Structure 1
């Protein structure tokens, strides 16, 4: 983007426009993953849908590439584009929860913590992720899974409608009755079809939940996973637990004697009516894997659980991740998990297996763009470290881990866990036979592929 175009943009758009010559440019282009170092020609902080429409129109008129940033958590850094325009939705962070209608309306720049605080105030919640600084936009458009998935489904299963700025600047509302094909595609198809400026979600009764953390020595990873793979799919829907391998962080509630030690564990959430009793039930269940070396259980407000990892994983760390779906965990896969758990390269690097069964399996496969209704787990391998000098180390561990686990997977992954360097075949594998329908919707709503800085689905 040349200077004349940038100056014209700054004059034409209402929201603040930041460019390479501005004092706050480096702060404005920073995203959650410090491994991303892209330099947009302009960052436009949009205040409302009209701002977004004007920004899209200007970019098209001047043949400028567009990226869209909500919460900035995209691992591959897809909220930025070198030399082009980043449409930054962070000022659009209003949330309104309506307890009578049991719905919540959230702006495109809302983070999960904003959403959780608003819904918690009326004794409810919407299924989302596990880190409260995640943007609702990218999470929801990719499908969205977290602590409430086994009880209430994916985030997109609670999406009732969305306000969207299309590639030609038109503003539409997509829902079951209006633009139903677009509504279908938004529920899992990523940011391919327009800029979502607000979401309307169904709320569910959630207030205080039972929480438990259970840890075992890393040497027992395969053994604990063997128990976990049998227990979790048969557990009641109100029980949720994601499996993790980790180095124990030097912070409460963990005792000093296990700080820094490599372990495997389960992070639990119980959404039954009795949170205190639910927490105890989680600990009792975990005893099935043998007595943990560390166990913690307590009732907790749901937003507190959602924010539990925020301080451990602040913005500005080096990240590299990959993912896969699994419908079963074979014995050979457990051996791979054991190998790489013992080889965790840095204190923050981890592997998680998130359950995506129970209520998520109750939605017909063709109802949304999310194509893996038969998956039982969504896995992610994440190399994480504060030091840029370790970027190569954490990436190699992650890629090697993924390479050895992938043959035991279903072939595709949660789109938000797909890296920018994995190629178009991985995008196709993510959507399976839904890909062709998504490409047709793309042809209708974005025939010129204006929105291509994403896990791209080309117009058919």
Structure 2
């Protein structure tokens, strides 16, 4: 007999018998994996090596009907539920100890309609799956910057990518979704159908159900894009970041850039004398003619003597994969974020100083240039509220040694906490959540109360709680 479910003081663990599992398997088309199965450890593993959870049951869905059956099992037996798409959320929301993982990783179908310029992507698809199919037609939709990332988690929390300033967030480009809500109903949400649900899933995370497919708008992109990828020595970091701030004030919407601090890796592509030295990197892409990109990026390539300049024209799918090697499965991650009203001198000094204190040479502090199409929408037009901020800063603690977990988490946590004490710093981004530490009002701003009402309508018992949780009326996280 497998004991699953969360135990509260004085309560008896929920029990899911072998008979109940067998009955579920007869209704379920995909693999059902339990701790005794040979594939269990491989299947339960997540991208973030810090997360080591042991679910009682992993239900690998083959389609929407399987998702409905898994949700019914969770309701019937009061099981803690995690939903896995790409499995890349830093906080480890894609798994749960002693509960049910509803795993969509087999649902990776992508269907492009080049005439309507839309793409339908199943809930387990990654950015790479979508880019590969859409680029066959010279089309793309704004997604993220690491191709192994799951489309679902990225999009439900907003979605920042190489096309963000021209075409907006990933969630801004949703046309419709199919979603299984906590009552087991399959719903379609669009601007005209279940419009409250449609509003909520665009930035409100996985609180409202399991999205089994997304329909996105597509745009003519590629097949190649001019890129910016220039490395400067850390000694020049303050001056480079100040110059980057000035550049962003007049940057074209076709340009999508970020600046980040890093340590020069010990690779043949870099001068040996620079190995291990601190660096500041300007990275991004331009969705437009190469001649315009040259003029746009030229000032950013001469801010100091570069260590190396990898800028050039890349196929769009290669651009989307360019950072993949820096974020491999099994590395240890802790990421947090804030939005900035301005990239002040004080904030620049803080970034450069704190990066120098990082316990890991793999960690970065990133400054994302936002604005453009992101800011075209009002803060209450979708659940994603942080529209006006021109910048986002993220502390990405990335490391290998488990013995250094505490030190690296403390570095990321303290860096963001200290930033929050400065003027013009607010909010947080749902895809960089730390370890489930950000309260709802920090993530969702003035949209939070409306999200609570919608959560109460569609998930009154908080079945879907492993996310940046919005607690429904009459429930609490402690009760779950």
TM range (shorter): over 0.9
Separation in 1, partners of 2:147, 2:168 = 18
Report deviation, 1:252: 5.8
Residue aligning to 1:237: 253
Q: Quote the RMSD (CA, aligned, Å).
A: 1.6
Separation in 2, partners of 1:153, 1:381 = 23
- Structure 2 residue 141 is the aligned partner of structure 1 residue 108: no
Could you tell me which runs of 5 or more consecutive residues in structure 2 were left unpaired when the two chains were aligned: 5-15, 474-480
- Structure 2 residue 444 is the aligned partner of structure 1 residue 428: no
Larger mean Cα displacement after TM superposition, 97-106 or 133-142? 97-106
Q: Of 48, 58, 81, which aligns to 2:63?
A: 48
Report deviation, 1:449: 1.0
Report deviation, 1:335: 1.4
Residue aligning to 2:467: 454
- Determine if contact 1:365/1:371 at 8 Å carries over to the other structure: yes
User: Structure 2 vs 1, CA of residues 377 and 103 (structure 1 numbering), >3 Å: closer, same or farther?
Assistant: same
- Structure 2 residue 328 is the aligned partner of structure 1 residue 309: no
Residue aligning to 2:343: 329
Separation in 2, partners of 1:363, 1:72 = 29
Separation in 2, partners of 1:259, 1:151 = 36
Separation in 1, partners of 2:95, 2:273 = 42
Separation in 1, partners of 2:161, 2:267 = 23
Report deviation, 1:232: 1.2
- Structure 2 residue 49 is the aligned partner of structure 1 residue 34: yes
Report deviation, 1:97: 1.2
User: Structure 2 vs 1, CA of residues 253 and 124 (structure 1 numbering), >3 Å: closer, same or farther?
Assistant: farther
Separation in 2, partners of 1:60, 1:233 = 51
Q: Of 56, 68, 72, which aligns to 2:83?
A: 68
Q: Of 439, 450, 457, which aligns to 1:444?
A: 457
- Structure 2 residue 135 is the aligned partner of structure 1 residue 120: yes
Q: Of 32, 38, 49, which aligns to 1:17?
A: 32
- Determine if contact 1:420/1:455 at 8 Å carries over to the other structure: no
**SS of 1:121's equivalent?**
helix
Separation in 2, partners of 1:320, 1:9 = 36
Separation in 2, partners of 1:397, 1:278 = 40
Separation in 2, partners of 1:443, 1:332 = 42
**SS of 1:234's equivalent?**
coil
Separation in 2, partners of 1:105, 1:66 = 26
Q: Of 53, 57, 63, which aligns to 2:72?
A: 57
Deviations 1:382-440 (A, max 9, x none): 111122122222112111211221223532111111123415xx321111110000011
- Determine if contact 1:268/1:282 at 8 Å carries over to the other structure: no
Deviations 1:125-157 (A, max 9, x none): 111111100000000000101111011111111
- Structure 2 residue 213 is the aligned partner of structure 1 residue 203: no
Report deviation, 1:332: 1.5
Separation in 1, partners of 2:270, 2:401 = 24
Q: Of 243, 246, 265, which aligns to 1:227?
A: 243
Residue aligning to 2:233: 217
- Determine if contact 1:210/1:278 at 8 Å carries over to the other structure: no
- Determine if contact 1:97/1:105 at 8 Å carries over to the other structure: yes
TM-score normalised by the chain length of structure 1: 0.96
**SS of 2:249's equivalent?**
helix
- Determine if contact 2:236/2:304 at 8 Å carries over to the other structure: no
Report deviation, 1:48: 0.4
- Determine if contact 1:241/1:354 at 8 Å carries over to the other structure: yes
Report deviation, 1:255: 3.6
Separation in 2, partners of 1:246, 1:182 = 40
- Determine if contact 1:227/1:288 at 8 Å carries over to the other structure: no
Aligned ranges for residues 7-406 of structure 1 at < 5 Å? 7-207=22-222, 208-251=224-267, 253-272=269-288, 274-275=289-290, 277-287=291-301, 289-406=303-420
Could you tell me which runs of 5 or more consecutive residues in structure 1 were left unpaired when the two chains were aligned: none
Residue aligning to 2:11: none
Deviations 1:26-70 (A, max 9, x none): 111101100001111111100000000000001100111111010
Separation in 2, partners of 1:401, 1:181 = 36
Separation in 1, partners of 2:177, 2:380 = 19
Report deviation, 1:446: 0.9
**SS of 2:326's equivalent?**
coil
TM-score normalised by the chain length of structure 2: 0.92
Separation in 2, partners of 1:281, 1:42 = 55
Deviations 1:107-140 (A, max 9, x none): 0000001111111111011111111000000000
- Determine if contact 2:335/2:432 at 8 Å carries over to the other structure: yes
